[in-house]
Chain A
Amino acid sequence: MRRGHLTIFACTDPETLSGLNWLICYLTTGKHLLFYAAFGTVLLLLAITAPAAMAFGFGGAMAARSRIAPLRWFGKGYIAVVRGVPDIAFFLFFVIALDQGIEYVRHKIKCPDWDQPVRQGSDFLVCQAAKMPLGNSPQWVHESYGFALAVLTFAIVFGAFAANVLFGAMAAVPRGQVETAEAYGMTSRQTFWRITVPQMWIYALPGLGNLWMVLIKATPLLFLLGVEDIVYWARELGAAKTPRFTDYPHPDWRMWYFLALLVFYLAFTRVSEIVLARLTRRLSYGQATAGGEAMRRAQA
């Protein structure tokens, strides 16, 4: 029986392959699939973090504007502290502190009759039942937990910046708009939700757009939190490989892998810029801003 022209080659014996076939096999090793999956991790992180950070930001801005003093102090304090601490320091501190904090609380609840101290020298010890995740959980649970901690940390950090942006945007809504609402007899709550919030977005957008770009570029920090992201895999895959430990030996290819990351980030931020530009147009429509006025004139 003769095979057709379309030869199906197997990746079982890479040494016999060359050129494109070798490359196809190389780029589909299990390790590369993990690399591709890591892109999904980054996108998932962004998809969850962005709305979460907006929620933190909105809450923070509302708290900072509050007429209740303690709430206002809390909001202003949150913005000031998180904005003032280097991201990396916050990431390293907060994730460890949060993790140990959760375990400590669970330890107190689940193992009330534990007689040993939690801190022994440099060890942090809680009973097995308080472990987060449990020691016998499969690896994916550990990874998801780490990912969730990362999302929360990102949301808190970027939420503080978003809070500051939204706080400024709320204050930038023309006083005349608010005054008119008051003249119509709206309560301050109605004024806030019906006048201030719908109109503030155009003032917030440049700031929020910046934050989004910074957030995209900050995703390699995941690596710092122990999540195996695209930077980790690029470094691991790019490193020189000797034939003894792989079927696909190659010299130092880190440059090419990092170049791929560069292209990915550049393409992603470019798409974001286009979307943000469209959004700006849309939000300017009918607004009492120079941008809105220019659109009105163009139409008239």
Chain B
Amino acid sequence: MKLILTAAALAVAATGAWADAHGKTIRMGTEGAYPPYNFLNDAGEVDGFEREVGDELCARAELTCEWVTNEWDSIIPNLTSGNYDTIIAGMSITDEREEVIDFTQNYFPPAASAYAAMSGDADLTGGVVAAQTSTIQAGYVAESGATLLEFATYDETVAAVRNGEADAVFADKDALVPTVEESGGEMVFVGDDVPLGGGIGLGLRESDDELREKFDVAIQSMKDDGSLNELIVKWFGDDAKVFE
């Protein structure tokens, strides 16, 4: 019995030492419900623009990475409590979020948000507008005078417009473009585009400076050799905003 316990203790100690000596797997936390940024493909794997960028960043920074999904609503608390090491989920860099977590430099330039509705005359400032909870878009709608209707996922915000629960949906234009284009003319963009946020960056714990620097360097190298712009065009089309 004692021998077994000793062996078990040794095994535990050994795994511990191994973990600290050989670095660790970086767990990439994403939502998996925000195409084209990130979504689950038919095989149930994380796919999309951020999957490709993330894999390339990990390769350049020589990190072993693994993808995990988490609800958007609890994506920041679960980062700070250590369930995963980065947030790579179309998260705009904002001052509010900077107070809780750190961001790398942006890997997606500041982009426009837009309204989409079932008709061109939707009331954007006095009607009901759907947005995803805890997004900059939700914050913007709340201050626009419209009644904000919040949903846990992007899909639900679009569904709310389609079934008439909301007059319009307000989201990243790049997410809305495929939805509007594939709706067969049912949905249209309404009003002007609204520039929001400082671009999209990887979210990291404030104490993880070393990891942030590694990703910053990798992002810079992807910006410098143009591979980041290539991926942006691949996933968001020729009209997408790229880095200069």
A interface residues (Cβ-Cβ under 8 A, vs B): 29-31, 33-34, 96, 99-100, 103, 110, 120-131, 134-139, 142, 226, 228, 235-236, 239-240, 242-249, 252, 254
B 139-159 binary contact with A (CB < 8 Å = 1; else 0): 000000000000001011011
Residue of A nearest to B208 (CB): A123
Taking a contact as CB atoms under 8 Å apart, the answer to whether A239 and B80 are in contact is no
Contacting A142 at CB < 8 Å: which of B41, B68, B153, B158?
A: B68
Let me know if B81 is at the binding interface, CB within 8 A. Answer: yes
- Rounded to whole Å, the gap between the CB of A220 and the closest CB of chain B is 14
The segment from B13-21, B129-137, B193-201 found at the interface with A is B13-21
B 158-176 binary contact with A (CB < 8 Å = 1; else 0): 1100110000000000000
A209→B206 CA distance, assembly (Å): 49
Return 16 A-B CB contacts under 8 Å, by A number: A29-B42, A29-B44, A30-B42, A103-B82, A110-B16, A129-B15, A130-B16, A135-B85, A137-B25, A139-B68, A226-B70, A236-B32, A240-B158, A242-B179, A244-B178, A245-B178
A134→B21 CA distance, assembly (Å): 13
Let me know if B27 is at the binding interface, CB within 8 A. Answer: yes
Taking a contact as CB atoms under 8 Å apart, the answer to whether B82 and A131 are in contact is yes
The tally of CB-CB contacts under 8 A between chains A and B is 118
- Rounded to whole Å, the gap between the CB of A94 and the closest CB of chain B is 14
A226→B68 CA distance, assembly (Å): 11
Chain B residues lying within 8 Å of A135, measured Cβ to Cβ, are 19, 24-25, 27, 85
Known contacts A29-B43, A139-B66; A125/B24 CB under 8 A: no
Let me know if B36 is at the binding interface, CB within 8 A. Answer: yes
Where chain A touches its partner, the secondary structure class is: loop
Taking a contact as CB atoms under 8 Å apart, the answer to whether A122 and B80 are in contact is yes
Taking a contact as CB atoms under 8 Å apart, the answer to whether A243 and B19 are in contact is no
A129→B19 CA distance, assembly (Å): 6
A110-B16, A246-B41 are known contacts; what are 12 more A-B pairs with Cβ within 8 Å? A30-B45, A31-B42, A121-B100, A122-B100, A125-B205, A128-B19, A129-B16, A134-B15, A136-B19, A240-B162, A242-B179, A245-B35
Taking a contact as CB atoms under 8 Å apart, the answer to whether A100 and B81 are in contact is yes
Residue total for B at the interface (Cβ-Cβ under 8 A) = 50
Taking a contact as CB atoms under 8 Å apart, the answer to whether A120 and B206 are in contact is yes
Chain A residues lying within 8 Å of B41, measured Cβ to Cβ, are 31, 245-246
- Rounded to whole Å, the gap between the CB of B242 and the closest CB of chain A is 20
Residue of B nearest to A254 (CB): B159
- Rounded to whole Å, the gap between the CB of B76 and the closest CB of chain A is 9
A123→B100 CA distance, assembly (Å): 9
Taking a contact as CB atoms under 8 Å apart, the answer to whether B19 and A131 are in contact is yes
Taking a contact as CB atoms under 8 Å apart, the answer to whether A123 and B153 are in contact is no
Taking a contact as CB atoms under 8 Å apart, the answer to whether B182 and A136 are in contact is no
B interface residues (Cβ-Cβ under 8 A, vs A): 15-20, 22, 24-25, 27, 32-33, 35-36, 39-45, 47-48, 64, 66, 68-71, 74, 78, 80-83, 85, 100, 153, 155-156, 158-159, 162-163, 178-179, 182, 205-207
Pick from A96, A100, A240 the residue with the most CB of B within 10 Å.
A240
Contacting A252 at CB < 8 Å: which of B32, B39, B45, B162?
A: B162
The 4 A-B pairs with the shortest beta carbon distances in the complex, nearest first, are A129-B16, A30-B43, A239-B155, A135-B24
Taking a contact as CB atoms under 8 Å apart, the answer to whether A239 and B68 are in contact is no
A228→B69 CA distance, assembly (Å): 9
Chain B residues lying within 8 Å of A120, measured Cβ to Cβ, are 206-207
Taking a contact as CB atoms under 8 Å apart, the answer to whether B19 and A33 are in contact is no
A120→B81 CA distance, assembly (Å): 11
Taking a contact as CB atoms under 8 Å apart, the answer to whether A136 and B159 are in contact is no
Contacting B24 at CB < 8 Å: which of A33, A34, A128, A248?
A: A128
Taking a contact as CB atoms under 8 Å apart, the answer to whether A245 and B81 are in contact is no
Taking a contact as CB atoms under 8 Å apart, the answer to whether A236 and B182 are in contact is no
- Rounded to whole Å, the gap between the CB of A257 and the closest CB of chain B is 12
Residue of B nearest to A243 (CB): B182
A121→B76 CA distance, assembly (Å): 13
Residue of A nearest to B67 (CB): A139
Residue of B nearest to A146 (CB): B83
Taking a contact as CB atoms under 8 Å apart, the answer to whether B207 and A123 are in contact is yes
Taking a contact as CB atoms under 8 Å apart, the answer to whether A239 and B44 are in contact is no
A248→B41 CA distance, assembly (Å): 10
Known contacts A134-B15, A142-B68; A125/B82 CB under 8 A: yes
Taking a contact as CB atoms under 8 Å apart, the answer to whether A31 and B155 are in contact is no
Residue of B nearest to A99 (CB): B81
Chain B residues lying within 8 Å of A252, measured Cβ to Cβ, are 155, 159, 162-163
Chain B residues lying within 8 Å of A103, measured Cβ to Cβ, are 82
A249→B33 CA distance, assembly (Å): 15
Taking a contact as CB atoms under 8 Å apart, the answer to whether A123 and B155 are in contact is no
Chain A residues lying within 8 Å of B20, measured Cβ to Cβ, are 127-129
Taking a contact as CB atoms under 8 Å apart, the answer to whether A136 and B24 are in contact is yes
Chain B residues lying within 8 Å of A239, measured Cβ to Cβ, are 33, 153, 155-156, 159
Chain B residues lying within 8 Å of A96, measured Cβ to Cβ, are 81
Known contacts A30-B45, A131-B82; A245/B39 CB under 8 A: yes
